[in-house]
Amino acid sequence: MEEDGGSDARVVESMRRLLDAVPPGDDDPHTIFRLPAAVRERHRDLYEPKVVSVGPYYHGSNGLGAAQRHKWRLLRDFLSRSAAAGLGAYVRAAREVEAEARRCYAEGFDMGADEFAEMLVLDGCFLLEFFLRKSEGQLAAPGGAKWAWQHMYHDVLLLENQIPFLVVEKMHGVAFAGEDGPDRDALLDIFCKAFAGDLPSSRIIRPASDKTIHHLLHLHYECNVRNPAVDSEKARNGGEANGGASSLAIWKQPPVPSPRSGGDGAVKGRMTSMIPPAAKMEEAGVTFKRRATPRDVFDVSFRYGVLHMPAFVVDESVKVLLANLVAFEQGGGRAARKLDGGNLMTGFVALVGSLVNARRDVEVLRRSGILHCMITDEEAVAYFSHVVQYTTMDYDRHLLACLFRDIREHCHWNR
pLDDT at 255 over 80: no
Q: 121 and 267 share a domain?
A: no
* 149/138 Cα distance (integer angstroms): 10
Q: Largest Cα–Cα distance of the chain, in whole Å?
A: 80
Highest mean pLDDT of the ranges 35-49, 230-244, 393-407? 35-49
- Domain final position from 199, 219, 239: 219
Least confident of 53-67, 193-207, 376-390: 193-207
Which burial class, exposed, middle or buried, applies to 334 when counting CB atoms under 10 A from its CB (0-12, 13-18, 19+)?
Answer: middle
Q: Are residues 174 and 311 in the same domain?
A: no
Look up the domain containing 124 and give its range. Answer: 27-219
Does 401 lie in the same domain as 335? Answer: yes
Position 65 in a domain: yes
**pLDDT score, position 270:** 47
Buried-exposed string 143-176: b where 16+ CB fall within 10 A, e elsewhere: eeeeebbebbbbbbbbbbbbbbbbbbbbbbbbbb
Predicted TM-score of the model (pTM): 0.84
| Residue at 205 is within a domain | yes
As a whole-number percent, the residues of the chain with pLDDT over 90 amount to: 51
Q: Are 404 and 272 in contact (CB under 8 A)?
A: no
Based on the fold, state whether residues 141 and 56 are members of the same structural domain.
yes
The number of domains in the chain is 2
Distances, alpha carbon 324 to alpha carbons 247, 316, 350, in Å: 26, 13, 14
Claim to verify: residue 163 and residue 31 sit in the same structural domain: yes
Residue, of 244 and 132, whose pLDDT is higher: 132
Q: Give the pLDDT mean for 319-327.
A: 93
Helix (H, G, I), strand (E, B) or coil at 94: helix
Asked if the structure places residue 370 within a domain, the reply is yes
- Residue 128, pLDDT > 80, answer yes
Q: Is residue 270 part of a domain?
A: yes
User: Residue 225 domain-assigned?
Assistant: no
pLDDT at 229: 53
Task: Look at residues 172, 202, 219 and tell me which one is the last residue of a structural domain.
Answer: 219
Same domain, 164 and 210: yes
Q: What's the whole-number mean pLDDT along residues 323-352? A: 79
**In terms of domains, do 369 and 407 share one?**
yes
- Quote the pLDDT of residue 415: 45
As a whole number of angstroms, the distance between CA 164 and CA 104 comes to: 7
Same domain membership, residue 253 and residue 203: no
Position 75 confidence tier, pLDDT thresholds 50, 70, 90: very high
CA distance 199 to 223: 10
CB 327 within 8 A of CB 311: no
